[in-house]
């Protein structure tokens, strides 16, 4: 019998897809209990996680029977993929399955920040009439700078094209030819900082991208852009983005991801209702629709993996 542990929430309907031959243990909050994981992980051939379960080397070393990790999402920064490679543990992300949800989040945040929806709503609801006191902007005609030109960035591009936006992108791993095929100009990171009105971040968190946005980079922004981070916390230095906003280097920001999740209280203390910013709890990719797609995809891939695996 193949034993599979699921450590975070999953669409319950999708669970039915898993082969009846598997012994499935579903504990949606067990990711919080590293003692349980350390003690029990050696009993499982497969484990299915989201982004909260920390599968670092010290846990994986105890997973003597582990052959497969299913990731209900795409970022792999909570999994020691190098260790998995060396030890023949196959890692299956749900590539592309939540990209539409994230792309819609980027469009909705861009519009809300440009239209200052939060600020205008608060004042109007308070009995004020901020018809001319708060200036708002169109998305039409703006320059969008995409940091990273992978799956999600391409979905954003597709949606934002309806607004007649010019798009430039910084991604050293994508050729200018590929970008041109999408009508996007490949530029340097510095170009994005100086040209963009909207900067949307779509890269993995790694040594190169950690604090890619810090005090120095914000100070190079010419057009007071709005910043949207739906990728990973830690790519933006949270102290520095607050300072950049207060010093008028940027005109707004939307953050879905944070260096520590839930977001730390010191950061929140600095957020006031009169700031043009939107905070959300890492839900850009988690809609009902994407949850169904992601869960079904990983369940099918799990069946496929173990039906072909030679023990």
Ligand X SMILES: NC(=O)c1ccc[n+]([C@@H]2O[C@H](COP(=O)([O-])OP(=O)(O)OC[C@H]3O[C@@H](n4cnc5c(N)ncnc54)[C@H](O)[C@@H]3O)[C@@H](O)[C@H]2O)c1
> Hey, which residues are catalytic here?
232, 261, 282
**Residue 19 or 78 having the CB closest to ligand X:** 78
Nearest-angstrom CA–CA distance, 213 and 38 = 35
Tell me which residue has its CB nearest to ligand X: 150
Which string of DSSP letters, residue by residue, matches 165-207? -EEEEE-TTS-HHHHHHTT-EE--HHHHHHH-SEEEE----ST
**Residue 2 or 196 having the CB closest to ligand X:** 196
Residue 192 tokens read as 């994005």
Nearest-angstrom CA–CA distance, 244 and 242 = 5
**Residue 123 or 202 having the CB closest to ligand X:** 202
Least distance to ligand X from the beta carbon of 205, Å? Answer: 6
In the chain, alpha helices (H): 12-15, 34-40, 57-60, 81-86, 99-115, 117-125, 151-160, 176-181, 189-195, 215-219, 238-246, 265-269, 288-308
CA of residue 60 relative to chain centroid, distance: 24
SS3 (DSSP) at 91: strand
Binding site for ligand X (CB under 6 A): 73-75, 98-99, 102, 147-153, 170-174, 202-204, 208-209, 230-232, 256-257, 282, 284-286
Closest CA to 12 of 308, 299, 207, 286: 299
**Residue 30 or 286 having the CB closest to ligand X:** 286
Least distance to ligand X from the beta carbon of 237, Å? Answer: 16
**Residue 94 or 119 having the CB closest to ligand X:** 94
Least distance to ligand X from the beta carbon of 220, Å? Answer: 16
Least distance to ligand X from the beta carbon of 235, Å? Answer: 8
Nearest-angstrom CA–CA distance, 175 and 248 = 34
Which string of DSSP letters, residue by residue, matches 120-176? HHHHHHTT---TTTS----STT-EEEEE--SHHHHHHHHHHGGGT-EEEEE-TTS-H
Least distance to ligand X from the beta carbon of 301, Å? Answer: 16
- Residue 114 near residue 164 (C-beta atoms within 8 A): no
Element (H, E) at 276: none
Peptide bond into 262 cis (omega under 30): yes
**Residue 207 or 273 having the CB closest to ligand X:** 207
Least distance to ligand X from the beta carbon of 216, Å? Answer: 16
């Amino acid at each position: 019998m193949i034993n599979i542990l699921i450590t975070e929430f999953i669409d319950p309907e999708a669970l039915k897809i898993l082969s009846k031959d598997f012994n499935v243990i579903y504990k949606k909050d067990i990711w919080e209990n590293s003692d349980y994981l350390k003690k029990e992980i050696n009993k499982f051939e497969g484990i299915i996680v989201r982004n909260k379960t920390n599968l670092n080397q010290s846990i994986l070393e105890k997973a003597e029977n582990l052959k497969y990790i299913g990731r209900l999402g795409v970022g792999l920064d909570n999994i020691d993929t190098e260790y998995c490679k060396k030890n023949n543990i196959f890692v299956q992300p749900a590539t592309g399955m939540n990209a539409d949800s994230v792309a819609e989040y980027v469009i909705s945040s861009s519009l809300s920040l440009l239209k200052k929806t939060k600020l205008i709503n608060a004042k109007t609801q308070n009995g004020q009439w901020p018809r001319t006191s708060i200036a708002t902007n169109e998305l039409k005609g703006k320059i969008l700078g995409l940091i990273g030109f992978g799956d999600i960035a391409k979905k954003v591009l597709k949606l934002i094209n309806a607004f007649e936006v010019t798009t430039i992108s910084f991604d050293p791993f994508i050729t200018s030819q590929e970008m041109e095929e999408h009508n996007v100009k490949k530029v340097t990171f510095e170009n994005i900082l100086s040209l963009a009105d909207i900067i949307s971040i779509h890269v993995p968190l790694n040594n190169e991208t950690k604090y890619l946005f810090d005090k120095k980079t914000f100070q190079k922004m010419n057009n007071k852009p709005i910043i949207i981070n739906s990728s990973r916390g830690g790519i933006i230095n949270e102290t520095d983005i607050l300072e950049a906003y207060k010093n008028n280097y940027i005109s707004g920001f939307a953050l879905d991801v944070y260096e520590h999740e839930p977001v730390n209280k010191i950061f929140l203390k600095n957020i006031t209702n009169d700031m043009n910013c939107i905070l959300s709890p890492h839900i850009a990719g988690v809609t009902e629709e994407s949850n169904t797609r992601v869960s079904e995809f990983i369940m099918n891939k799990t069946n496929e993996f173990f039906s072909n695996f030679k023990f």
